[in-house]
């Protein structure tokens, strides 16, 4: 057996340990950037899902507000009295009818405006959250996320104080569930600053999604009814009457195309239900985002259907001001 001195043994051990440290360092140099990249990508996925959702529902709410008001006005136009039928009593009755209608529309429109503001704040919040994921050491970006969270919270209060037919209610059981959302945050997945923001904002953003879902559910019959009313009036004036007179041409064909497609969307209300489902799904996705297991792709189907409705309602609005028949 070859004799090895203590000095030789220590030298060999030092070399081996040094090689081991170098190997560990090399592994860490590979793993840590990958983890950082994963955290950034996770933050970007979070932001993408929130921004897409907010934009889609914002557009729907804009066109739905107009559809609700215009459908009510169209109904009044269709039922207007001839000048010969106007007396002092009927004029007073008409004014009262208008005042009642205006009051209801103002209350509902106010709720829609608050909902739109809430969605806009959610969109800005997720955009800032993406910036924080991209720049996790930025105190300015972290402060911006906090400010936007406060904005969402104040708008939550406005939504809960809504009036008219669109006042949302969250049960005590749901409130208790919201208060526990912060416990879901996975620090090791998100990174320190993003995780801290998510933990602070978990309940606020979760409540916003629930309130938005409630208002969309309450608004569904209003929107579907408005779509059908406007489409039926449009059909009578721009499709049926010209056809009866055989005053038809390219514009008539375009108007008929709009009627058929809008009626198909409105009668099934499938796309509007998708809006509500997207909002409800966003609550579920938010919980998974907090836990670090969220998949931004889960919303794609609902958002695609929501876009279909938005296009249909947009065409209906264009149908209100068609070009002269040709």
Q: 122 CB contacts (<8 Å, ≥6 apart)?
A: 50, 53, 54, 152, 205, 208, 209, 212
Nearest Cα to Cα of residue 185 among 174, 207, 175, 200? 200
Question: What are the pLDDT digits (tens) for 30-82?
Answer: 333 333 343 445 545 566 777 878 887 887 788 778 878 888 888 888 788 88
Helices 192-235 + 6-78 axis angle, to 10: 20
Predicted TM-score (pTM) of the model is 0.70
Q: With a cut of 80, say whether residue 84 has pLDDT above it.
A: yes
Average pLDDT over residues 125-144: 85
| Domain ranges across the chain | 43-319
Longest alpha-carbon distance in the chain:
127
Average pLDDT over residues 115-122: 90
Q: With a cut of 60, say whether residue 14 has pLDDT above it.
A: no
């Amino acid at each position: 057996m070859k004799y090895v001195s203590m000095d030789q043994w220590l030298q060999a051990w030092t070399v081996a340990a040094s090689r081991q440290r170098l190997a560990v360092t090399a592994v860490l140099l590979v793993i840590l950037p990958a983890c950082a990249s994963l955290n950034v990508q996770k933050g970007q996925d979070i932001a993408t899902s929130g921004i897409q959702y907010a934009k889609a529902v914002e557009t729907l709410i804009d066109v739905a507000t107009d559809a609700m008001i215009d459908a009510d006005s169209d109904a009044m136009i269709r039922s207007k009295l001839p000048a010969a039928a106007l007396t002092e009593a009927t004029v007073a009755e008409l004014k009262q009818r208008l005042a009642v209608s205006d009051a209801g529309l103002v209350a509902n429109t106010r709720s829609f405006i608050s909902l739109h503001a809430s969605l806009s704040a959610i969109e800005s919040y997720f955009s800032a959250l993406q910036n924080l994921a991209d720049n996790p050491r930025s105190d300015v970006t972290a402060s911006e996320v906090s400010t936007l969270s406060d904005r969402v919270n104040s708008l939550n209060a406005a939504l809960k104080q809504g009036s008219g037919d669109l006042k949302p209610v969250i049960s005590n059981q749901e409130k208790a569930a919201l208060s526990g959302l912060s416990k879901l945050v996975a620090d090791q997945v998100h990174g320190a600053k993003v995780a801290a923001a998510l933990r602070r904002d978990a309940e606020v953003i979760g409540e916003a999604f629930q309130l938005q879902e409630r208002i969309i559910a309450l608004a569904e019959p209003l929107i579907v009814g408005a779509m059908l009313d406007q489409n039926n009036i449009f059909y009578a004036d721009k499709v049926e009457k010209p056809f009866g007179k055989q005053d038809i041409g390219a514009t008539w064909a375009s108007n008929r195309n709009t009627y058929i497609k809008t009626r198909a969307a409105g009668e099934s209300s499938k796309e509007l239900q998708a809006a509500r489902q997207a909002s409800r799904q966003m609550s579920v996705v938010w919980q998974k985002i907090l836990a670090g297991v969220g998949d931004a792709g889960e919303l794609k189907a609902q958002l695609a259907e929501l876009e279909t409705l938005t296009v249909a309602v947009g065409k209906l609005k264009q149908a209100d001001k068609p070009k002269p028949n040709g």
